[in-house]
Amino acid sequence: MLPLAALALPTLAPEVPAQYVLPGGDALAVPLTIALLEAGVITDPMLRAPRNAPLAEVFGPQERQLAERALAHWWTKLIRARPCKFFRWELHVQQLEDTGHGYDMATTAWFCFTRMRAHDQYPPRFALSKGIEHLERLLDGFGQTVMAVLEDASLLLPDSLGPWSALRWAQHMYWEYTDDDVVLLENRRIEGNYATVKDLVESEHVVTRAMFYAEMPEWVCEPKRVCSRAEIEEAASTSLARQVVGVCDALHDLVNRPDFVLGPMDKGAFRCGRDTVDASMILLWKQHDVIGEAIDDFLNHLGECGEYCEFIDANPVPMTAAGVREFMTKTEQAIEVAVLTEKLILLLGEKF
């Protein structure tokens, strides 16, 4: 008989791991299922085989099936409790290659969202000028303050595109980080070897700041809270204004709850190392305006370069009970924000 020690793996160099893990579905399903079990997402009834179940289920469901059943139950219950008309997302759990951010595939599951496309192939677009201009007529700065609230709320949701996104693209691609149109046009004239700026603008389509802001105030792309709560409350003399104030108050109360832990850096596909070619929503000033043109230019450029993803949100979740609970809490809070944000957008904007 061989001594027991002869069955042990030989000790090799220190850098050689003492474990051998077969790649495949179990590399994700097993630790994720354990984490879901410890977090209480997998409940006792889910572990019991139904009556007349096949023997394979009687002797124990597979980890992948357990995880799928538990997550589907949680996700369905969540979105049914707080339904949205346009913000409709699907949850995917998978492994992604290292993005350079230090996430370990062995310990991290990626919980990603995509937009449900069964009802709408493209992201919903809303033009906000009608509602915002209505508020501005009541009080200078009322509409801008509400736009600032809307921008902050959008940062707590899966990726969206709006006037602030268009401005960043314009600064980069249209204006080349120049300080004003005079410098921009002169630089482009020299680059194109034109004799005069007039020759340039007659030969090329140059989007200047004057063109970009021709039909909207500059603050649309960089809104600030310029009115106090008391000023807004006094100016809210119409039904629309009062409804808008009510939703903004509800958003304020939500994000200032002691248990609210969701932050802007907790959402977005950027964490998987790619920009997304999709969006949960696109906010414009007017239908077919320069903001929409800039956003379309950005998306087309992204599609042509090939370095993109189709997620609207990518969450690296540690496969531990604490990691799963944190993701679930932040997702539940994001859904709460989504419900109120959609309500605010539908008050202010026109979908097309």
- Report pLDDT digits (tens) over 79-122: 999 999 999 999 999 988 767 677 888 899 999 999 998 667 89
Higher per-residue confidence, 2 vs 42: 42
Q: Is 112 helix (H, G, I), strand (E, B) or coil?
A: strand
Q: Which of 295, 88, 310, 304 is nearest to 212 (CA)?
A: 295
Give dist(CA 70, CA 84) in Å, integer: 22
pLDDT of residue 196: 96
Higher per-residue confidence, 120 vs 154: 154
Give dist(CA 211, CA 230) in Å, integer: 36
CA 118 to chain centre: 19
Higher per-residue confidence, 197 vs 22: 197
pLDDT of residue 104: 84
Residue tagged 């977005």 (tokens): 268
Query: In this structure, what are the phi and psi dihedrals at residue 314, rounded to the nearest 5 degrees?
Result: -135, 115
Give dist(CA 157, CA 280) in Å, integer: 8
Confidence of residue 15 (pLDDT cuts 50, 70, 90): very low
* The pair of three-digit structure tokens given for residue 337, joined into one six-digit string: 């924000």
HSE value, Cβ hemisphere, 13 Å, CA-based, for 288: 0
Give dist(CA 220, CA 299) in Å, integer: 21
In the chain, which ranges are E strands?
A: 89-94, 108-115, 125-127, 275-276, 282-284, 308-309, 313-318, 350-351
- Report pLDDT digits (tens) over 254-311: 999 999 999 999 999 998 988 999 999 999 999 999 999 999 999 999 999 888 999 9
* The pair of three-digit structure tokens given for residue 192, joined into one six-digit string: 């194109």
pLDDT of residue 101: 73
- Report pLDDT digits (tens) over 303-337: 998 889 999 999 999 999 999 999 999 999 999 99
pLDDT at 58 over 70: no
The answer to whether 106 and 27 have CB atoms below 8 angstroms apart is yes
* The pair of three-digit structure tokens given for residue 247, joined into one six-digit string: 């939703």
Give dist(CA 222, CA 285) in Å, integer: 13
- Report pLDDT digits (tens) over 253-267: 999 999 999 999 999
Percent over 70 (pLDDT), the chain: 87
Give dist(CA 314, CA 308) in Å, integer: 13
Confidence of residue 1 (pLDDT cuts 50, 70, 90): very low
Q: Which DSSP string corresponds to 169-201?
A: HIIIIISTT-SSHHHHHHHHHHHHT-SSHHHHH
pLDDT of residue 11: 46
- Report pLDDT digits (tens) over 157-194: 999 999 999 999 999 999 999 999 999 999 999 999 99
pLDDT at 338 over 60: yes
